[in-house]
Amino acid sequence: MKISPHWLRDFVDLPVDYARLADELTLAGIAVESVSGEGNNTVFEMDITTNRPDAMNHYGVAREASALYDLPLKPIAPKLPPSEGKSDVTIDIQEPGLCPRFTAREIRGATIRPSPANIASRLQLIDQRPISNAVDATNYVLWESGKPTHVFDLDLLEGRRLIIRKAQAGETLKTLDGVERKLSADDLVVADAKKPVGLAGVMGGFDTMITERTKNILIESAWWDPVTVRRMSKRHGLHTDASHRFERGADFESTVVSTNRVAELILNSGGGTLIGNVIDVIARQLDLAPVELDLREVQRILGEKLSTLEISRTLTRLGFTMLPGSEDTYLVHIPSWRLDIEREIDIIEELARLHGYDKFANTLPAYIGEVRDLPDAHKDERLRSSLLALGYNEAISLTFISKADARRFSTAAELDLANPLSDEASVMRTSMVPSMLNMLAYNLNRGTDNVRLFESGNVFEASGTDAMPRELKRISIGATGSVDADVVRGLVSGAAARPFSFFDLKGDAETLLAPFSHWTLYYDAQLHNEKPDSKKSADYYHPGRYARAVLDGTTVAQFGQIHPDVATARKLRQDVFVAEIYLDQLYQHDLREARYEALPRFPAVERDFSFLFNDGVEFEKIHQSVSGLAIAELRSFVPVEIFRGEKVGAGKYSILMRARLQSSERTLRDDEVAQWSGQIAQALEGLGGAQRA
């Protein structure tokens, strides 16, 4: 919205230059976003908040300036010639709730021609296109005083009457923009004896508009129910300068003066005769209730005492009247254009903004209450710092995914958006995986082939009809490329990059899960089902390179290489690895508390076991069978080296394992170590293992 400060001088004698005016209006809440042009052609681009329709015009801004500088505001007082005869136009308000007031005035014998230069140039300066003197008169009044008005070609109205009524189903109206609109019983219209001629408060009708041939004019200025106008404007997708103001609340008392001002402008430029008096139908009086203002309350909210003089001066300049009540209270009458003022706090805001926010002192409130963290803050921080230390970059992706992805990567019931941005972003994410894959692909497509990412966020699942949707906290991890990617090959013995593998990811998962206290933690390859009864599973993982982590019987994570078919479908041209951590499950567990344990005083003994196994024998099985021996002194039993290949033959693998035996009470004897080693070897043989020399 544009304002010409030169135009403001019609109403107030500005004591400052336009740059300073712009600044000071802004600091009083009438925001001037930018200033352009020079001298009389200076233009302010305004950003008036939605609660201040009264300031969306020159007179309203001038009123603010008059309060700001404590200067008188000149009234808008149209000078009209004496009228002749009596108008026989009748107004019939059938919807007094939605149209409490309708004002009209008849002019006969006017000439439609271009507006005079002073009117046209003012409109042009604020980006309004001059059309004709009659139409421009309504537009000028809109920008002068903020009151939308309308002019009809009276000869095109049938029955010389206007009826304010609900539209009937099946009726249509061609609006001024040339669009034929289907009306419904929810629409409020201005109609003549036969047909709708205007969409109330939104736009007039095409067939009754002013043309070059128009001679006789009917001026309309009404007050429309804001909610009704807003609904019609939305329903018809028709946001106009008129609807913008009516839906925020127009000035009930301005219908007559605006009608007369339009009449004055038409008569001045197009001649003609005013017929009869103004026709002013008030179906229902709209009074703004006075507000009680307690000066102590002003101080309680603002923190500083304002003088009674300042308060009364400010309110008076803004059009309020202040009547003394008991003690420190006053009764404040609200001007008809301030529909936003209903309560004491509304008045206090007026006082604060015109006092100047920056004049209030800066103080800090005392506080002796507690300071709480979020319950999981420490767990979040632990995981996040570990992920960063492991080399994963923190990422954020959009919260929406496509319906296809929601179905592909989750079995949860997804939530659709009613007004999605696109098909690719039409549902709330039920899995973090699709967006992680998208981010990996984004990097690969830009020549970054070594990528480590993690994202922490919520997935969303529909629950019962009345319950709130479930928001479940997750971390997703994505990795592709090499380990030690930048190491100079041969720099030291064995230095070389190697492809990121399942075991790199598993190691990271182990690192992340380790701090959480638990009795048992194991990894298996059972495809994780979101719902145990569902056939669908995490089949977007490579079936042979997938694992889930089960902590105290609960699945807390799953991870693995993405299935090559899925990778191909998403144009991922190298192996990618993804992990999902279910924080809602994991956070059931506390972080392990550090506890001191005495360091061993007796030496440990290590024994190596080299065995050949069939491929089907998993290490977990080997480990279980050795732990099953319940040798108290066995501190660890770990694989040291794995070998597959021609030397060991197809379907077999050779494995070197190391047992570490130690007692906290004594040095172990050779014979007992030999005995335990024998037991271990026997257990391994029991699994079909063959000891190698």
Partner 1 sequence: MSYTVPKLADFSAAALDSAVRELVSALEQESAAVSSENDWKAFRDRWIARKNGILTQLNDLWLKAAPGPNKRDVGQRVNALKPRVEQAVDATLARIQSGVSSGKLAAERVDITLPGIRRPLGAEHPVIKTMNEMIGVFRNLGYSVEEGPEIETDFYNFEALNFPPNHPARDTQDTLFIAGQESKPLRDRLLLRTHTSPVQIRTMQKMKPPVRVVCPGKVHRNDALDATHSPIFHQIEGLAVDTSITFCDLKGTLDHAMKAMFGSSVKTRFYPSFFPFTEPSADVQISCIFCDGKGMRDGAPCRNCKASGWIELLGCGMVDPNVYGFVDYDPTKVSGFAFGMGVERIAILKYGVDDIQLFFQGDVRFLEQFG
Of residues 8 through 37, those in contact with partner 1 by CB under 8 A are: 26-29, 31
| CA nearest neighbour of 139 among 147, 388, 572 | 147
The residue range among 43-51, 73-81, 181-189, 535-543 that interacts with partner 1, by the rule CB under 8 A, is: 43-51
* DSSP conformation letters of 378-392: HHHHHHHHHHHHTTP
Closer Cβ to partner 1, 47 or 88, answer by number: 47
The residue range among 46-54, 205-213, 527-535, 554-562 that interacts with partner 1, by the rule CB under 8 A, is: 46-54
Residue choice 289, 309, 364, 650 for contact with partner 1 (CB under 8 A): 364
51 sits near partner 1 (criterion: CB under 8 A): yes
- The CA angle 264-270-272, to the nearest 5 degrees, is 75
Instruction: State the Cα–Cα distance between residues 554 and 533, nearest whole angstrom.
Output: 16
Q: Which residues pair with 164 in a beta bridge?
A: 93, 190
421 sits near partner 1 (criterion: CB under 8 A): yes
Q: Which helix (H) or strand (E) holds 280?
A: strand 273-282
Closer Cβ to partner 1, 393 or 574, answer by number: 393
Amino acid (one-letter) located at 36: S
Collect all residues with Cβ–Cβ distance below 8 Å to 444 and sequence separation of at least 6: 451, 480, 572, 573, 574
Q: How far is the CB of 467 from partner 1 (least distance, A)?
A: 11
* DSSP conformation letters of 494-511: T---EE--HHHHHHHHHH
Closer Cβ to partner 1, 27 or 73, answer by number: 27
Enumerate residues 299-338 that contact partner 1 by CB under 8 A: 300-304
CA gyration radius, the chain: 40
Taking phi first (over 0 means left), then psi (-120 to 50 degrees means alpha), and beta for anything else, what does residue 303 get?
Answer: left
Instruction: Give the CB-side neighbour count of residue 244, counting CA atoms within 13 A.
Output: 16
Enumerate residues 245-304 that contact partner 1 by CB under 8 A: 247-248, 300-304
Closer Cβ to partner 1, 289 or 630, answer by number: 289
| CA nearest neighbour of 399 among 311, 460, 320, 482 | 460
Cα maximum dimension of the chain: 132
Instruction: State the Cα–Cα distance between residues 470 and 585, nearest whole angstrom.
Output: 14
64 sits near partner 1 (criterion: CB under 8 A): no
Number of residues that bind partner 1 (CB under 8 A): 93
Residue choice 271, 360, 522, 629 for contact with partner 1 (CB under 8 A): 360
- The CA angle 67-68-71, to the nearest 5 degrees, is 55
Report residue 23 CA to chain centroid gap: 30
The residue range among 204-212, 255-263, 455-463, 642-650 that interacts with partner 1, by the rule CB under 8 A, is: 455-463
391 sits near partner 1 (criterion: CB under 8 A): yes
650 sits near partner 1 (criterion: CB under 8 A): no
Amino acid (one-letter) located at 290: P
Closer Cβ to partner 1, 246 or 676, answer by number: 246
The residue range among 159-167, 305-313, 435-443, 593-601 that interacts with partner 1, by the rule CB under 8 A, is: 435-443
Instruction: State the Cα–Cα distance between residues 508 and 514, nearest whole angstrom.
Output: 10
What are the backbone angles phi and psi of residue 407, rounded to the nearest 5°? -75, -35
Closer Cβ to partner 1, 247 or 575, answer by number: 247
The residue range among 93-101, 224-232, 533-541, 578-586 that interacts with partner 1, by the rule CB under 8 A, is: 224-232
Closer Cβ to partner 1, 421 or 604, answer by number: 421
| CA nearest neighbour of 246 among 278, 218, 281, 221 | 221
Closer Cβ to partner 1, 261 or 452, answer by number: 452
Q: How far is the CB of 389 from partner 1 (least distance, A)?
A: 6
80 sits near partner 1 (criterion: CB under 8 A): no
Buried b (16+ CB within 10 A) or exposed e, 369-394: eeeeeeeeeebbeebeebbeebebee
Closer Cβ to partner 1, 439 or 657, answer by number: 439
Burial class (CB in 10 A: 0-12, 13-18, 19+), 673: middle
Instruction: State the Cα–Cα distance between residues 278 and 692, nearest whole angstrom.
Output: 114
Enumerate residues 545-574 that contact partner 1 by CB under 8 A: none
448 sits near partner 1 (criterion: CB under 8 A): yes
Closer Cβ to partner 1, 269 or 430, answer by number: 430
Closer Cβ to partner 1, 115 or 426, answer by number: 426
Q: How far is the CB of 221 from partner 1 (least distance, A)?
A: 21
Enumerate residues 474-503 that contact partner 1 by CB under 8 A: 484, 486-488, 491-492, 495
Q: How far is the CB of 666 from partner 1 (least distance, A)?
A: 38
| CA nearest neighbour of 387 among 479, 298, 308 | 479
CB 527 within 8 A of CB 509: no
Q: Which residues pair with 274 in a beta bridge?
A: 107
Residue choice 78, 96, 335, 420 for contact with partner 1 (CB under 8 A): 420
404 sits near partner 1 (criterion: CB under 8 A): no
Residue choice 196, 434, 457, 560 for contact with partner 1 (CB under 8 A): 457
Closer Cβ to partner 1, 310 or 618, answer by number: 310
The residue range among 199-207, 270-278, 452-460, 615-623 that interacts with partner 1, by the rule CB under 8 A, is: 452-460
Instruction: State the Cα–Cα distance between residues 502 and 477, nearest whole angstrom.
Output: 13
Closer Cβ to partner 1, 10 or 294, answer by number: 294
Residue choice 117, 169, 193, 227 for contact with partner 1 (CB under 8 A): 227
374 sits near partner 1 (criterion: CB under 8 A): yes
Q: How far is the CB of 137 from partner 1 (least distance, A)?
A: 27
Closer Cβ to partner 1, 121 or 458, answer by number: 458
Residue choice 419, 596, 646, 647 for contact with partner 1 (CB under 8 A): 419
Residue choice 180, 212, 287, 370 for contact with partner 1 (CB under 8 A): 370
Report residue 524 CA to chain centroid gap: 41
Q: How far is the CB of 33 from partner 1 (least distance, A)?
A: 10
Enumerate residues 146-205 that contact partner 1 by CB under 8 A: none
Burial class (CB in 10 A: 0-12, 13-18, 19+), 482: middle
Angstrom distances, CA of residue 578 to CA of 364, 400, 410, 652:
48, 19, 15, 29
Residue choice 76, 451, 479, 622 for contact with partner 1 (CB under 8 A): 451
Q: How far is the CB of 571 from partner 1 (least distance, A)?
A: 16
